[in-house]
Structure 1
């Protein structure tokens, strides 16, 4: 085949894959996102009907794509599991995930998810489920906030071996800076709305993390466990490609 024609055909195939969208009643499923961004479109389940979520999952499954649905109830997850029996639901993280056929072929990385208090558990588990859906190992280190520094020091050696770290904390959110000061990898800080009074629904935690003097801290939105987990998973992807590519 003529090289120029081959190039045109390759570009055409790339455009077809990356722009593929399926219109269903109530949603336009972005099937091209897996080719553009490395992972399929994630379904934000809150305020979506069970029927709509199922139609989205069917569209992704027909395309051979794994699905992740965040922020859904146990009742919705049970209805989905009737149709997708191999799906996995985390009550703690309110996430449901399915696995693609080639999920086991990648070399798994490891992400540590460190939370300050037990009330941060939902956000931390949302991050963990996201990492697992991406094919990596997610290790949770719960309730190691700065009020009891000995708890963090006891698990620090395990945290230091991770490819990336997610720190989840509310109130003044000092934990992110403390953890980052012991690490040579990126730390994705997730402020939570845990707290009261001057905590202002997580705004103080957000400001504290943004003002961190630790150079390896990057901050996402309040209660955005998915975003913290996804970013950490992307780092784990690249780390494993470097080590095993």
Structure 2
């Protein structure tokens, strides 16, 4: 067994148990361990979702593994194998306040696509130019779940939640100067939102927001089909 991989115990039944596949969090892993995990998965023909894969890590992977990946440098999300077929169901939109929020937003969109949800991206509609948001309000009102990514004062999730009936999941991002404190101000702002029912994930956690949307989608499908419905 390759050095450093003896503790690995992949949760292969997670999708059957909770509806979410286990993802490989790449960034904190030593390169030899990451290479071992991906090489073994590739050789066995397994599908794997990889998150927070840095450009340096991607470049350092062996050619056969790197060539097998569908890698997005902006989101740092990679697919090993094909994503699930797109299915018609819950309508999900990913919304950004500005282009600085594109990384976490694209991470959420890519994680959703891996699991079969084609989420629309509504970009650069922050409250500093409120007309941009209002021009898209009708479109946003059609979404069942909205993942709203915003840094700085993170006002956008509250404003969106005041306009739409769908579930709003706020992703505070690390964009901003000085007292923005790497997203802490945004996190506190969305936690203190005056709009009722706003859900909040951690700073820059597009993956977590996508997983929350997937849990909602799973229960929605179960209710529609009668499979596993409460």
Bucket of the pairwise TM-score, normalised by the shorter protein: 0.7 to 0.9
Aligned-pair distance for 1:43? 1.0
Match of 1:91 in 2: 73
Give the whole-Å Cα distance in 1 for the aligned partners of 2:41 and 2:200: 30
Match of 1:31 in 2: 12
Confirm or deny that 1:167 pairs with 2:134: no
Match of 2:54 among 70, 73, 94: 73
Give the whole-Å Cα distance in 2 for the aligned partners of 1:24 and 1:188: 35
Give the whole-Å Cα distance in 2 for the aligned partners of 1:187 and 1:81: 41
Aligned-pair distance for 1:83? 2.8
- Please, which runs of 5 or more residues in structure 1 have no aligned partner? 1-22
Please state whether the residue corresponding to 2:85 is helix, strand or coil: helix
| CA displacement 1:93-132 (0-9 Å, x = unmatched) | 010023468x228545431110111111111111111111
Instruction: Show the 5 A alignment for 1:168-207.
Output: 168-207=149-188
Count of aligned residue pairs for this structure pair = 222
Aligned-pair distance for 1:210? 0.5
Match of 1:111 in 2: 92
Please state whether the residue corresponding to 1:137 is helix, strand or coil: coil
Match of 2:200 in 1: 219
Aligned-pair distance for 1:73? 2.4
Give the whole-Å Cα distance in 1 for the aligned partners of 2:151 and 2:180: 8
Match of 1:134 in 2: 115
Match of 1:19 in 2: none
TM-score where L is the length of structure 1: 0.79
| CA displacement 1:129-173 (0-9 Å, x = unmatched) | 111111101211111100001111112222222221101001110
Asked if the contact 2:96/2:126 (under 8 Å) is kept, the reply is yes
